[in-house]
């Protein structure tokens, strides 16, 4: 049975008859400003900030806004089904939550709250390697709901192997390997405040609970937390990795593998040649390469290069239902939602994340219908025009 996402609209109007209005804005682009007002400058700067002067994050938004939908008429859209096949699974809508580290800086209930919200809506949750809650605890909060594990590929092979083993045992079905963060970028908002949560041992839960990681420490974490943090910083990622190293992941992970952070069509081809199951076209929300191509501008070229060989997913700049429509039309099979759900979490915990998911999908459902599409498979490039000025 297809879920009727747009019913949220009537639910909100009906609640209005008894004087109740939504606790958070239904225009999700307003959440960032609200979070800026309500939460501390360190956490807000960390989430909202980007690399360099922030122009890449703005370019992500501009590249989506510049594309305009050309609606079609009289195409029978009264029955709609947003479900889609991604990585061999059927999802109720072309949406998953993106991996975002250190969610405890936004809300004390952190990842389990976001994961429960995703599970309640049937949307996959992607857990970051740098979560503030160990992966097993997040899995427990989700029951048997769909979950994916994002790997920051540790330098130490034993820790990498151990993460993969633990993720599999905890029921994460797909592996998202983030390749655009071999180093943390120059991020002035964090630098100006000297704010980096990991140095305080926040976002290290998967490491500090890992037997292979702990085996490398001379003393238990609580006896020498600084040594544990240095050990984490030293192995968090490995800028020396190259394409042949992907064989290691194939050997130790028997489910789908998706490479996150692909922007060049040649890298997408290399991913397909290496037998990967998907790519996420992403510039990490403008947080890594300052001045990089906007993700939505990279998407059509990647989709043309490999769209028939693997699943092309997309993130970086998605804020509204029409953004999702545009990503689908440019060749994405599904999108990952980043900052908006993090703001929802910061503002209203699990309920805030559910609000964000439901609003986004209601808006997508209506945008599809009003543009003449009964599902996510039919929008294409002919349904968009690009503003030139
Ligand atoms: C605060 C924050 C933390 C993030 N942490 C991770 C992470 O741990 N792993 C990862 O692969 N991507 C991480 N990302 C990137 C997101 O997965 C996603 O690519 C990005 O948020 C998309 O941009 P948008 O939120 O502007 O749409 C993070 C993003 C933010 C905003
Ligand atoms: O901040 C980020 O964008 C990010 O991906 C990250 C990097 C290291 C630890 C946690 C999150």
Residue 389 predicted with pLDDT over 80: no
Predicted pLDDT at 98: 99
Predicted pLDDT at 343: 98
Residue nearest to atom 9 of ligand 2 (CA): 130
Centre of ligand 2 to C-alpha 130, Å, is 7
In the chain, the percentage of residues whose pLDDT exceeds 70 is: 100
Active site residue 78: no
Determine which one of 107, 231, 284, 355 is catalytic. 284
Atom of ligand 2 at shortest range from CA of 184:
7
Yes or no: say if 129 and 101 are a contact pair by the CB < 8 Å rule: yes
Task: Please write the tens of the pLDDT for every residue from 50-91.
Answer: 999 999 999 999 999 999 999 999 999 999 999 999 999 999
In this predicted complex, what is the ipTM? 0.99
Q: Average of pLDDT values for 23-49?
A: 97
Residue nearest to atom 3 of ligand 1 (CA): 100
Task: Please write the tens of the pLDDT for every residue from 347-384.
Answer: 999 999 999 999 999 999 999 999 999 999 999 999 99
Kindly state if the Cβ of 317 falls inside 6 Å of ligand 1: yes
Closest CA to 96 of 76, 77, 115: 115
Residue 198 predicted with pLDDT over 80: yes
Kindly state if the Cβ of 98 falls inside 6 Å of ligand 1: yes
The average confidence (pLDDT) of the chain is 97
Residue 1 predicted with pLDDT over 70: no
């Amino acid at each position: 049975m297809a879920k009727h996402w747009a019913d949220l609209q009537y639910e909100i109007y009906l609640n209005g008859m008894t004087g109740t209005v939504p606790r958070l804005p239904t225009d999700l682009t307003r959440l960032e400003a609200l979070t800026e007002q309500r939460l501390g400058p360190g956490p807000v700067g960390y989430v909202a900030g980007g690399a360099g002067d922030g122009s890449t994050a703005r370019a992500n938004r501009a590249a989506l806004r510049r594309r305009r939908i050309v609606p079609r008429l009289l195409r029978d859209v009264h029955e709609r089904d947003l479900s889609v096949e991604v990585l061999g699974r059927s999802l109720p809508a072309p949406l998953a939550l993106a991996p975002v580290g250190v969610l405890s800086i936004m809300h004390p209930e952190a990842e389990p709250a976001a994961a429960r919200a995703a599970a309640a809506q049937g949307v996959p949750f992607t857990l970051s390697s740098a979560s503030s809650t160990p992966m097993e605890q997040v899995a427990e909060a989700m029951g048997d709901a769909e979950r994916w594990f994002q790997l920051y590929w540790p330098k130490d092979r034993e820790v990498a192997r151990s993460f993969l083993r633990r993720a599999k045992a905890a029921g994460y079905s797909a592996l998202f390997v983030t390749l655009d963060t071999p180093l943390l970028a120059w991020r002035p908002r964090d630098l100006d405040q000297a704010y980096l949560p990991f140095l305080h041992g926040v976002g290290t839960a998967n490491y500090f609970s890992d037997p292979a990681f702990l085996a490398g420490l001379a003393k238990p974490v609580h006896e020498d937390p600084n040594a544990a943090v240095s050990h984490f910083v030293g192995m968090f990622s490995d800028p020396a990795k190259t394409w042949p190293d992907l064989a290691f992941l194939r050997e130790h992970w028997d489910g789908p593998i998706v490479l996150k952070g692909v922007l060049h069509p040649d890298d997408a081809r290399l991913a397909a040649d290496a037998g990967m199951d998907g790519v996420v076209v992403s510039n990490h929300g403008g947080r890594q390469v300052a001045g990089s191509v906007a993700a939505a501008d990279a998407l059509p070229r990647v989709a043309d290069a490999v769209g028939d060989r693997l699943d092309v997913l997309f993130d970086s700049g998605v804020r509204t239902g029409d953004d999702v429509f545009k990503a689908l039309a440019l060749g994405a099979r599904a999108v990952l939602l980043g900052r908006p759900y993090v703001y929802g979490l910061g503002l209203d915990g699990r309920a805030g994340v559910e609000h964000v998911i439901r609003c986004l999908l209601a808006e997508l459902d209506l945008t599809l219908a009003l543009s003449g599409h009964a599902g996510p498979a039919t929008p294409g490039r002919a349904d968009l025009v690009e503003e030139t000025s």
